[in-house]
């Protein structure tokens, strides 16, 4: 028997969540964001589950090409653009669209093959200060691209820092929208601004294309729980108890003896550790479900194992099923306990974990 840890990916949950994203953005098209191996869910599987998406967006050039080889015929978008002029022939060959976010990329396009036809997504830095042209440089970049015979279309895009926290005083959502609208006023072309939080919370700014990512996988982008948004968890990570210890007050558990019992306890050792993608920084008390009963972790997470309190799960023993996150325990709740976000947990699912598809 293989090591008992297993990630189950629900195809119907992926499909359901895409439908939720599309419903919030009625009239817009949807890029299903599948970067990072579809946020850990498997790129090929996601491609199949997202057959209803209008396009797939990611950041990895080689995976974009792979999607074509697997038969994806609809648009593909590279959200960070291309990284070197030598990428361009491949992108043209496979009809892969890309973001243009800096003058160096424009120079590479100008020096590139004349006969090429590009669909570019001109990115504005509307305040996040990650990728893109500042609003005052945007129009000039647009005109420069517009003048190039090889540029077939220009979509105007930006990305929000606080779509889930619209009133953030350091960069209110409304301020980013205003900068985007002002700088693109009168320019022709499609517009694309919303990530998951934008899609769910700011329907009025769906424009022509939305770019939902994390919501498709059933985790929250913030601003409410996944359940509030009607999302279904796509990934369930489960393993089993492989050992039991009975300890008394004063006994310590695991590396660094970070947990010390203050009473008699039964604890279970679970075949799941940070080399499986479980966060090492999860503190004592991180929620976990054993045989359908909620309990907590105790002690430091090690590479291949973590330890849970079984004092209140009297019928459990070696072989008991343990859910780390998923159908009965929100990944967001586990992430929150560990001081991170659902995104990071799902992306970190390790290659050694076996994956099973469920309906
Ligand atoms: C990752 C990404 C998204 C999706 O973001 P979520 O918060 O996961 O919905 C959208 N747009 C761009 C440019 C991205 O890089």
Give a yes or no: residue 227 inside a domain.
no
Enzyme catalytic residues: 35, 255
Query: Do residue 241 and residue 295 come from a single domain?
Result: yes
341 band by pLDDT with thresholds 50, 70 and 90: very high
Q: Is 198 in the pocket of ligand 1 (CB under 6 A)?
A: no
Residue located via tokens 């023993």:
317
Q: What is the CATH number of the domain that holds 128?
A: 3.20.20.10
- Beta carbon of 33 within 6 Å of any ligand 1 atom: yes
**What b/e string do you get for 130-160 counting C-beta neighbours within 10 Å, with b at 16 or more?**
ebbbebeebeebbebbeebebbeebbbbbbb
Both 310 and 252 in a single domain? yes
Q: How many domains does the chain have?
A: 2
Residue 140 lies in a domain: yes
Domain of residue 327: give its range: 235-358
Binned at pLDDT 50, 70 and 90, residue 32 comes out as: very high
Residues 209-217: what's their mean pLDDT?
Answer: 98
Ligand 1 binding pocket mutation candidate from 20, 25, 33, 226 (most atoms within 8 A of CB) = 33
Q: Is residue 263 part of a domain?
A: yes
Q: Is the CB of 212 under 6 A from ligand 1?
A: yes
Question: What is the 213 CA–ligand 1 centroid distance (Å)?
Answer: 5
- Taking the centre of ligand 1 as the mean of its atom positions, its distance from the CA of residue 195, in whole angstroms, is 5
52 and 167 assigned to the same domain: yes
Mean pLDDT (whole number) for 47-72: 98
Q: Is 2 part of any domain?
A: no
**Ligand 1 atom nearest residue 59's Cα:** 15
Confidence (pLDDT) at 114: 81
Q: Tell me the C-alpha distance between 228 and 279, whole Å.
A: 25
Output the CA 150–ligand 1 centroid distance in Å: 27
User: What pLDDT is recorded for position 40?
Assistant: 98
- Give per-residue pLDDT as tens, 164-212: 999 999 999 999 999 999 999 999 999 999 999 999 999 999 999 999 9
Q: Is 202 in the pocket of ligand 1 (CB under 6 A)?
A: no
Taking only the tens place, the pLDDT of each residue in 272-288 is: 999 999 999 999 999 99
The 10 Å Cβ neighbour count of residue 167 is: 8
Given a cut of 90, is residue 108 above it in pLDDT? yes
Do 157 and 199 share a structural domain?
yes
Ligand 1, atom 13, residue with closest C-alpha? 79
**Residue 230 has what pLDDT?**
98
What are 189's two structure tokens? 């072309």
Q: What's the CA gap between 110 and 61, in Å, rounded?
A: 20
Q: How confident is the model at residue 266 (pLDDT cuts 50, 70, 90)?
A: very high
* Global confidence as pTM: 0.98
- How far apart are the CA of 193 and the centre of ligand 1, in A? 10
pLDDT of residue 316: 97
Q: Give 2-26 pLDDT, tens digit per residue.
A: 999 999 999 999 999 999 999 999 9
Q: 217, 246, 267: which is the final residue of a domain?
A: 217
How far apart are alpha carbons 72 and 56 in whole angstroms? 9
The finding on whether 41 has its CB within 6 A of some atom of ligand 1 is no
Instruction: Answer yes or no: is 179 a known binding residue.
Output: no
Residue 112: the pLDDT is 87
Cβ–ligand 1 contact at 155 (below 6 Å): no
User: Is the pLDDT assigned to residue 113 strictly greater than 90?
Assistant: no
In this structure, what CATH number is given to the domain that contains residue 290? 2.40.37.10
């Amino acid at each position: 028997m293989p090591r008992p840890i297993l990630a189950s990916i629900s195809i119907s949950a992926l499909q359901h969540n895409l439908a939720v994203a599309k419903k919030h953005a009625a009239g817009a098209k949807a890029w299903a964001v599948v970067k990072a191996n579809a946020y850990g869910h498997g790129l090929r599987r996601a491609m199949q589950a997202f057959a209803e998406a209008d396009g797939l967006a990611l950041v990895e050039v080689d995976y974009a090409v792979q999607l074509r080889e697997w038969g994806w015929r609809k648009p593909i978008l590279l959200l960070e653009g291309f990284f070197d002029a030598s990428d361009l022939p491949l992108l043209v060959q496979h009809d892969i669209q890309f973001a243009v976010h800096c003058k160096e990329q424009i120079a590479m396009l100008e020096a590139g093959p004349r006969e090429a036809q590009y669909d570019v997504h001109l990115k504005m830095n509307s305040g996040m200060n990650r990728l893109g042209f500042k609003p005052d440089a945007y129009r000039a970049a647009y005109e420069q691209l517009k003048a190039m015979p090889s540029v077939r279309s220009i979509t105007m895009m930006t990305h929000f820092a606080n779509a889930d926290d619209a009133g953030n005083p350091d960069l209110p959502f409304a301020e980013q929208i205003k900068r985007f609208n002002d700088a693109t006023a009168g320019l022709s072309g499609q517009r694309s601004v919303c990530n998951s939080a934008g899609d769910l919370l700011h329907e009025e700014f769906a424009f022509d294309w939305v770019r939902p990512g994390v919501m498709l996988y059933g985790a929250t982008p913030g601003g409410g729980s996944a359940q509030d948004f009607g999302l279904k968890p796509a990934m369930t990570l489960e393993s089993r108890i492989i050992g039991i210890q009975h300890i008394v007050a004063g006994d310590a558990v695991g590396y660094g003896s970070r947990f010390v019992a203050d009473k008699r306890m039964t604890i279970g050792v679970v075949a799941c550790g940070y080399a499986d993608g479980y966060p090492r920084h999860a503190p004592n008390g991180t929620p976990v479900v054993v045989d359908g009963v909620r309990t907590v972790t105790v002690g430091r997470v090690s590479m291949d194992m973590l330890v849970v309190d079984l004092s209140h799960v009297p019928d459990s023993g070696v072989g008991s099923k343990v859910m780390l996150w998923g159908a009965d325990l929100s990944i967001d709740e586990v992430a929150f306990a560990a001081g991170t976000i659902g995104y990071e947990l799902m992306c970190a699912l390790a290659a050694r974990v076996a994956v099973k598809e469920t309906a």
